[in-house]
């Protein structure tokens, strides 16, 4: 009987140890960032640290909502250690719902506090910006708008495109205008834009396509689409708007730890890795994202935030306003 007890106890210890060893050498990350850009970075981390990375990517059809909803559904039984988002919106949702936990990464000390949650629930790194692209074949350089508010002028009537504002970064852009200008001024601007027959494209990629084809003179999109357009067609130009005004909206990637996750320490290691200058340099090269650290070497065609006037925006407040903004935009589109 005693020998039987010893055998059972030994097997129990072995199983427990095996389970711990398995978890100790892995990290689970969910990400809304395009797999073609995020996976190579995660593979580099795996190779350099020996920590196995299990990644769950959003599909194009459920972009930025699939993994977010999965995180919400797993709140009572977390399976993920780290969430890497392409914007601050999802990170703020996780904070509000008590799904993430604070961590002040020492690697992010050089990143401007405006791109971090003050309590440490999320930290921003490599960023995109909202810009205007234009077709040089149909628009003279002297006619290119320099402010987002120029788009309401008569000469641009029916010649400006924006992505459907109910989704993606266009929604966030309008919510940022709400926090910067106030709802009253933002609604006046949107009404003037609608009166000027703004073209509603299906996506930022569709804005790019319509500008390149000359169906519109110009459009608002993100820098990643803008750089693609300029690579594909030399007749495409790009402008950072409102350099002397409210500035350009900067949209950083964000990363945050999940509360109660199985591999929290490895989650911190991966978070430190993503927030490093080394990773920002990789993302600048692969998808033209702008580093938030100073002194990162980037390709010649990737602009530096040192030369861009950023919009002064509260990312948490902007994200919290999204439901209110979306309700207004539904009516704005229908009318």
Tens digit of pLDDT for each residue in 22-41? 457 999 999 989 899 999 99
Q: What is the reported pLDDT for 23?
A: 59
Q: Taking the model in full, what pTM does it have?
A: 0.83
Q: What is the reported pLDDT for 61?
A: 41
For residues 87-120, one letter each, b for 16 or more C-beta atoms within 10 angstroms of the residue's C-beta and e for the rest, the string is bbbbbbbbbeeebbbebebebbeebeeebbbeeb
Q: How far is CA 200 from the centre of its chain?
A: 22
Contact 218, 139 (CB under 8 A): yes
Q: At what angle do helices 204-212 and 223-232 cross, to 10 degrees?
A: 30
Rounded-to-integer distance, Cα 255 and Cα 125, Å: 8
Q: At what angle do helices 183-195 and 168-181 cross, to 10 degrees?
A: 130
Q: Which stretches in the chain have pLDDT values below 70?
A: 1-23, 59-65
Q: What is the reported pLDDT for 65?
A: 58
Q: What is the reported pLDDT for 24?
A: 72
Q: What is the reported pLDDT for 22?
A: 42
Rounded-to-integer distance, Cα 324 and Cα 177, Å: 13
Domain 2-126+252-302 has CATH 3.40.190.10: yes
CATH of domain 128-249+322-334: 3.40.190.10
Where are the CATH 3.40.190.10 domain residues in the chain?
2-126+252-302, 128-249+322-334
Q: Which phi and psi angles does 263 have, rounded to 5°?
A: -130, 55
Q: What is the reported pLDDT for 64?
A: 47
């Amino acid at each position: 009987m005693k020998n039987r007890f010893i055998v059972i106890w030994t097997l129990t210890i072995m199983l427990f140890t095996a389970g711990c060893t398995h978890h100790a050498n892995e990290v689970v990350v969910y990400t809304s960032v395009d797999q073609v850009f995020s996976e190579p970075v995660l593979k580099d981390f795996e190779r350099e640290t020996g920590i196995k990375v299990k990644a769950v990517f959003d599909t194009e059809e459920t972009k930025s909502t699939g993994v977010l909803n999965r995180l919400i559904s797993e709140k009572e039984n977390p399976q993920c250690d780290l969430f890497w988002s392409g914007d601050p919106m999802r990170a703020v949702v996780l904070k509000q719902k008590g799904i993430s936990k604070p961590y002040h990464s020492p690697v992010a000390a050089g990143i401007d506090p405006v791109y971090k949650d003050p309590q440490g629930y999320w930290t921003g790194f490599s960023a995109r910006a909202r810009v205007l692209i234009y077709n040089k074949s149909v628009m003279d350089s002297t006619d290119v708008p320099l402010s987002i508010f120029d788009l309401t002028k008569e000469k641009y009537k029916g010649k400006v495109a924006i992505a459907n504002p109910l989704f993606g970064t266009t929604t966030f852009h309008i919510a940022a205008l709400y926090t910067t200008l106030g709802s009253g001024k933002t609604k006046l601007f949107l009404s003037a834009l609608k009166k000027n027959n703004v073209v509603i494209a299906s996506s930022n990629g569709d804005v790019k396509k319509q500008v390149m084809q000359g169906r519109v003179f110009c459009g608002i999109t993100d820098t990643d689409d803008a750089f693609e357009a300029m690579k594909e067609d030399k007749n495409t130009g790009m402008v950072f708007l409102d350099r002397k005004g409210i500035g350009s909206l900067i949209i950083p990637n964000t990363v945050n730890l999940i509360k109660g996750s199985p591999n929290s320490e490895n989650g911190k290691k991966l978070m430190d890795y993503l927030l490093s200058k080394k990773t920002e340099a990789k993302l600048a090269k692969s998808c033209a994202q702008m580093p938030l650290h100073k002194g990162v070497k980037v390709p010649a065609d990737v602009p530096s935030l040192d030369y861009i006037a950023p919009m002064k925006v509260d990312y948490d407040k902007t994200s919290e306003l999204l439901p209110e903004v979306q309700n207004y935009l539904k009516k704005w589109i229908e009318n």
